[in-house]
């Protein structure tokens, strides 16, 4: 009886405890880029991650806000960049042009009638989600695609389905490089957020259908599809690429090369590929 009373008292005290206050956020940034704004926002304990769309990477803006809660501050930052903010998780946001946010919400909220698997390889589950949603899903090459997944869902959104699959496999997912990119949390932090800038290729799209293709093969395809010369580094022939996506040329270069520790840049109409740490 005494234990029960103690439990009731403890519950009553816990219920009356005020919710922890969230520290307000103040920013005063002059001519800052998306990178600078991202760094400043992520210093706040209520903000884990803020990603900016590549379309605003070149902008420099002034940002001033005082005593705002994180969500309101992020909305004000998005407005300064001429964008909108979309909340992707408890402490994660995407800042992007309105059209990109609309596409993102349409994908994440797309309804799926049934998702049912018993001890199926992760690759099989992702192939199914690609087929029923019409979306491009990319699994990072460092992830074991053979790990098993068991789940049974009905009338679920695409976002919730992908979220549960990644939770069961201890992975994370983000809308990056024009696809649903799945990897470990640590890996996502290391990979660049912004696709490389390739002059004149902002709107041109390519279809990627590679399964273990060598990098020289992929480079030849990109040269033909995008109409640009691609110069590869020495020793790249042994690297293999597996990717299925319909993306822009710039996003394709990110999907192909970033996961392999490579980057790409355009100079005088030629795309040069080199290791990330190359000078």
pLDDT in tens, 7-26: 333 334 444 455 556 788 99
Is the whole model's pTM more than 0.85, yes or no? Answer: no
Neighbouring C-beta atoms of residue 206, cutoff 10 Å: 18
30-38: long-range contacts (C-beta < 8 A, 24 or more apart)? 30/62, 31/60, 31/61, 31/62, 32/60, 32/61, 32/62, 32/63, 33/57, 33/59, 33/60, 34/59, 34/81, 34/95, 37/61, 37/63, 37/77, 37/80, 37/81
The pLDDT of 199-223, averaged and rounded, is 86
Residue among 259, 253, 255, 267 at smallest CA distance from 223: 253
**Which CATH number describes the domain made up of 205-275?**
3.55.50.30
User: Could you read off the pLDDT of 75-119 as tens digits, one per residue?
Assistant: 999 999 888 888 877 788 888 888 677 767 777 788 888 999 999
Looking at the chain, the number of H-run helices and the number of E-run strands are: 9, 15
Fold of 109-190: Phage tail protein beta-alpha-beta fold (3.55.50)
Tokens read off for 263: 């980057």
How far is the C-alpha of 153 from the C-alpha of 164, rounded, in Å? 10
- Numbered ranges of CATH 3.55.50.30 in the chain: 25-103, 109-190, 205-275
C-alpha distances (whole Å) from 66 to each of 25, 72, 202 are 6, 10, 36
Tokens 């997944």 found at: 149
At residue 5 the predicted structure's pLDDT band, cuts being 50, 70 and 90, is very low
Fold of 25-103: Phage tail protein beta-alpha-beta fold (3.55.50)
């Amino acid at each position: 009886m005494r234990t029960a009373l103690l439990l009731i008292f403890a519950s009553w005290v816990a219920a009356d405890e005020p919710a922890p206050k969230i520290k307000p956020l103040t920013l005063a940034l002059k001519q800052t880029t998306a990178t600078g704004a991202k760094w400043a926002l992520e210093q706040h304990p209520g903000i884990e991650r803020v990603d900016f769309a590549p379309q605003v990477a070149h902008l420099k803006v002034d940002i001033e806000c005082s005593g705002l809660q994180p969500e309101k501050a992020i909305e004000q930052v998005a407005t300064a960049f001429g964008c909108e903010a979309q909340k992707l998780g408890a402490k994660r946001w995407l800042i992007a042009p309105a059209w990109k946010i609309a596409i993102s919400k349409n994908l994440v909220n797309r309804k799926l009638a049934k998702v049912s698997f018993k001890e199926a390889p992760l690759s099989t589950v992702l192939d199914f989600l690609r087929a029923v949603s019409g979306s491009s899903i990319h699994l990072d090459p460092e992830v074991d695609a053979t790990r098993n997944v068991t789940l049974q869902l009905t009338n679920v959104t695409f976002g919730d389905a992908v979220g549960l699959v990644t939770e069961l496999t201890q992975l994370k997912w983000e809308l990056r490089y024009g696809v649903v990119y799945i990897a470990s949390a640590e890996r996502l932090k290391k990979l660049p957020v912004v696709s490389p800038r390739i002059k004149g290729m902002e709107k041109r799209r390519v279809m990627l259908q590679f399964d273990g293709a060598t990098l020289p093969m992929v480079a030849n395809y990109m040269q033909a599809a995008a109409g640009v010369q691609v110069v590869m580094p020495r020793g790249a022939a042994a690297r293999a690429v597996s990717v299925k996506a319909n993306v822009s040329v710039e996003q394709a270069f990110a999907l192909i090369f970033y996961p392999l520790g490579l980057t790409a840049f355009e100079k005088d109409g030629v795309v040069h590929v080199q290791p990330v740490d190359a000078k």
